[in-house]
Structure 1
Amino acid sequence: MNKPDKIYDIIGVGIGPFNLGLAALLDQTPELEGLFLDENPEFQWHAGMLIDGTTMQVPFLADLVTMADPKSPYTFLQYLQEQDRLYAFYFYEKFHIPRQEYNDYCRWTAAKLPSCRFGHRVVNVTYSGEQGFYEIKVQNNDNHTIEYYHTRHFAMGIGTKPTVPKSAEALSAGKMCHSADYLRNKEKILEKNTITVIGSGQSAAEVFLDLLIEKPEHGYQLQWYTRSPGFFPMEYSKLGLEHFSPEYTSYFYHLDSKTKDKLLKQQSLLYKGISMDTIAAIYDQLYEQSIGNTSQGALLQAQTEMTSVEETEAGSILLELEEVHLQEKLTVETDQLILATGYEQASPSFLEGIEHFLQRDEKGLLQIDEQYSVRQTNEQNHVFVQNGEMHTHGVGAPDLGLGAHRNAIIINQLAGREVYPVRRKNVFQQFGWQRSS
């Protein structure tokens, strides 16, 4: 292990919204010094899904810092002020901002933070128990050199990766794409005669809507299949939203693992449904394109599962579909397959160097304590997890509105004091019996 010239208090691996928020809050904490590394050349948040007209599904207050520090110089409102857009936003009168603007806001923040370094890929992490620090081995993508950094703690914010069904993995790249790469492939997709979207939720709906809007000009056939019971809206009632709160996170954390697994399956519409606005926009397009009883060339069918995929010699794709309840099968031919089949937690290879310290459950998932640190035999130097703890902390793990709260908890641990207040009372309803403190 290399002799360190400098030891950081924390190094963040991956610069998505959560680690970027941690960097922004740390910037206002003078006794702590952090470094944040990302292999990509610049910040981009779901670039393949920054479709025109799409908005965030959380209010603008769920920015990088506001829910922990409204006075921070990195709030969304401060971004608007510096962009000379504060009055424009005032007259805009919307709580949910364009997704492209959220991405621009994050890029603005990243550019202001010297602790954020892009083009740096973490290769390995090792631990020196005697000296009490982690060594982070990094490849600098700009000059192709290996660099070493040292830190007392580190935070994983590597995010998720697109999930592709095994049956579709062998398809040619030009015939299939995940919704995460939709915009990168859109120009070629529009040239196809038949386009099929598979999946449920907001991503599938946004891709379908975008293609539906383009369809009159390009004349393709468009179809959307999902195994979900229907094209149902996401739960967005005010009391329902209180499940994305510190109180519910704490309640969920103290449940046993079987109950947690059961609850997560029951709560899918809290985070997997479609926004009411998107459903309405799709319906409006379908209605307008059917005026005069014209053939709209669009098909939507729920309760239908894709069971197999095959590419023909002629270059088309054969999909075998099964109606879930009737168990009837049908083969459908298409020229383009778009898979809005969700994401799964990335499993970083750089953890191999400290894997023997880390504790996992019977499913191989990291055991994470209530303070967002991986349980391990090394108790002095933390490995924090950003958006990888749904199995332990519940549906709020990927929610942007809880990102600043989680980062406040992490920073308070690093500083050994309450840098950012963590409120005990945030919602009106009570989850479970009140525990005596």
Structure 2
Amino acid sequence: MPRFGNNASMSIDSDVLDLCGIGLGPSNLSLAALLAPLDDVEKVFLEARPSFSWHPGMLLPGAQLQVSFLKDLVTTVDPTSRYSFLNFLAQHQRMYRFLIARRDAPVTREEFQQYYAWVARSLPFVRFGQRVGAVEHDGDSFVVRVGQQQQVHARNLVVGVGHQPFVPACATGLGPQVIHASEFGTADPPSAGRRVVVVGGGQSGAEIVDHLLGRGDELPAHITWVARQHGFLPLDDSAFANEWFNPQFVHQYFQLPDQVRRRLLERQRTASNGISEGLLERIYRRLYEVDYLSAARVAYRLRTSTELVGLTRTGQGLRVTLDDLISRQRETLDADLVVLATGYRHVVPDFLRPLLGADDLADVKTNLDYSVRWKGAALGAIYLQNGAEHTHGIADPNLSLGPWRSATIVNSLLGREVYRTGAAESALWPAAGAAGSSADGKDAPLIVSLAKELTERTDEGDELHLIDLTSATDLPTAPFQASWWTVSPGSATQVDRHDAHEIWLVSAGVGRFTCGGETAEVRGGDVLRIPPDTAHRIENHGTEVLSVYSVWWG
């Protein structure tokens, strides 16, 4: 059973909503689009900005997506959704022009911004200009305080407010001549004839350098591009690297020890933080043209294996201090403008800190369904969008798995499979998300010889063995029902919820049991109690089959 009611006409001013979404970036917009057809869910999504805006400071001319346009808000889990990118093209009567214009080129971010804004305008339960100041729980529901007076009450929360721009300590408080990349496009700082330093060797830094080199007659006098990496590294967009952006890899990664996760995450960075190969080639071509073909000249230096360690004001300019990470030598240079493509911090939003008791997202324990473990989890669920890279892997902040993550949250909220999120095709990773069992019945328990055994085959092809005690001729009518099943290594059961009392007896194996928002490690010999109307599931993170007997009544 879902943990909410059925008043589809409820509005933001209603007593208690089923779900309040805070923030409306692509992650929560995906969730909102997948929830839109579900009339039995009373929901609202609050966004502080006056309209939908996706990284407006980085919507530079020609900036392109690093993923396929099919990885939009919905298509990978619901290709029939009216909120797909292809339907956006069809509704605006530009499908054929798009197919011709983009037959061998990625989609621009500007076009996806148009698509996102179109979806946001189509959703009646989205509210813009609503900045959340605080969130509390009154024992019955979350109280979301908006502005000075307005309150929203909701049984569950999903938070997707994004990350905060990271500015090195040495670069703070220096005025408009030092700007983070996230503000570059909107601030449009003057660069013609000036000495510009771009700090950051990822995609954002490359896009800014490319933009500066393409300004024609308004070129900077000098560009210094600084990267800590040992080179301007290309995005690893190879076939097997893309398997890391598969739902099955999330299951694999989630089961790893924390220390192993951290090491693996660093080794995979170029699959998310690398620079698009076409962009690298375009920058190199422009530098060649500047050196040999163009009348408009700009001096430049490319500094890899180099770190920004100091930044101070000197009259009308700036003094930049750099450390060479290989030679260990320090140098200083003068600049008129410094652009910091230094990424973002993973922090807990201010309004959420009192509930979670943490400042850093890395300190927040997140379940496989993206709900967080907090002291009031039995009272209501808090889900995090784009905040679980440390537990769910490199794909978490990427657009690739946005729809799958949102579908996982939908299924968890409703306690049933609205969208299929289980077995996904993968060349590397075994299917997860469904309980497995031995089809030949060799592991059947002794009780099956005393009663009729019914075998049900699920949509995924797995078997669940039900023990029908009521139809056995040599037993009295039993006041309970029973079953037995196994979970293969790397797999998990779907989230279940029902009115009955239930007891699980783990006969063999090890796993992670989640019930009512609480999670515990279990192994053979453990007895697990499941109260009525409580969402529950079990994962097998061991190497042996996990066997479970189930008894339920009431």
Q: TM-score, normalised by structure 1?
A: 0.92
Describe the shift of the 1:350–1:328 C-alpha distance in structure 2 as closer, same or farther (beyond 3 A). same
Partner of 1:418: 417
Describe the shift of the 1:81–1:250 C-alpha distance in structure 2 as closer, same or farther (beyond 3 A). same
Matches within 5 A, 1:268-283: 268-283=269-284
Partner of 2:197: 196
- Displacement after TM superposition at 1:82 (Å): 1.1
RMSD of aligned residue pairs (Cα, Å) = 2.1
In the alignment, which of 141, 144, 157 is matched to residue 136 of structure 1? 144
- Displacement after TM superposition at 1:6 (Å): 2.5
Secondary structure at 2:119's aligned position in 1?
A: helix
- Displacement after TM superposition at 1:346 (Å): 3.6
In the alignment, which of 297, 300, 304 is matched to residue 298 of structure 1? 300
| In structure 1, C-alpha distance between the alignment counterparts of 2:150 and 2:185, rounded to whole Å | 34
Q: Which runs of 5+ in 1 are unaligned?
A: 140-144
Partner of 1:379: 377
In the alignment, which of 37, 42, 48 is matched to residue 46 of structure 2? 37
Answer yes or no: is the 8 Å Cα contact 2:361–2:387 preserved in 1: no
| In structure 1, C-alpha distance between the alignment counterparts of 2:131 and 2:239, rounded to whole Å | 41
Answer yes or no: is the 8 Å Cα contact 1:27–1:113 preserved in 2: yes
Percentage identity across paired residues of the two chains: 33
Partner of 2:185: 183
Answer yes or no: is the 8 Å Cα contact 2:198–2:209 preserved in 1: yes
Answer yes or no: is the 8 Å Cα contact 1:361–1:367 preserved in 2: no
2:173 matched to 1:170? yes
2:114 matched to 1:83? no
Over alpha carbons, which structure has the higher Rg?
2
Matches within 5 A, 1:31-430: 31-92=40-101, 93-94=103-104, 96-129=106-139, 131=140, 133-139=141-147, 145-173=148-176, 175-186=177-188, 188-214=189-215, 216-291=217-292, 296-312=298-314, 314-355=315-356, 365-380=363-378, 381-430=380-429
Describe the shift of the 1:194–1:215 C-alpha distance in structure 2 as closer, same or farther (beyond 3 A). farther
| In structure 2, C-alpha distance between the alignment counterparts of 1:267 and 1:245, rounded to whole Å | 14
Between structures 1 and 2, the one with greater helix share: 1
Q: Which runs of 5+ in 2 are unaligned?
A: 1-12, 432-488, 492-544, 547-554
Answer yes or no: is the 8 Å Cα contact 2:229–2:305 preserved in 1: yes
In the comparison of the two structures, how many residue pairs are matched? Answer: 421
| In structure 2, C-alpha distance between the alignment counterparts of 1:28 and 1:281, rounded to whole Å | 43
The one-letter code matched in structure 1 to 2:383 is F
| In structure 2, C-alpha distance between the alignment counterparts of 1:329 and 1:372, rounded to whole Å | 44
- Displacement after TM superposition at 1:364 (Å): 6.1
Partner of 2:23: 14
| In structure 1, C-alpha distance between the alignment counterparts of 2:14 and 2:490, rounded to whole Å | 49
Describe the shift of the 1:115–1:363 C-alpha distance in structure 2 as closer, same or farther (beyond 3 A). closer
Partner of 2:6: none
1:213-264: CA deviations, max 9, x gaps? 1165435211111111001101100111110111111111111111111112
| In structure 2, C-alpha distance between the alignment counterparts of 1:363 and 1:85, rounded to whole Å | 41
**Runs (4+) off by over 4 Å:** 292-296, 360-364, 431-437
- Displacement after TM superposition at 1:69 (Å): 0.8
- Displacement after TM superposition at 1:347 (Å): 2.6
Answer yes or no: is the 8 Å Cα contact 1:9–1:414 preserved in 2: no
| In structure 2, C-alpha distance between the alignment counterparts of 1:261 and 1:19, rounded to whole Å | 26
| In structure 2, C-alpha distance between the alignment counterparts of 1:11 and 1:241, rounded to whole Å | 33
The one-letter code matched in structure 1 to 2:165 is P
- Displacement after TM superposition at 1:126 (Å): 1.2
Structure 1 stretch displaced more, 53-62 or 217-226:
217-226
| In structure 2, C-alpha distance between the alignment counterparts of 1:229 and 1:333, rounded to whole Å | 24
1:356-410: CA deviations, max 9, x gaps? 6xxx699862110111000123233100000000111110111111011011111
Answer yes or no: is the 8 Å Cα contact 1:163–1:342 preserved in 2: yes
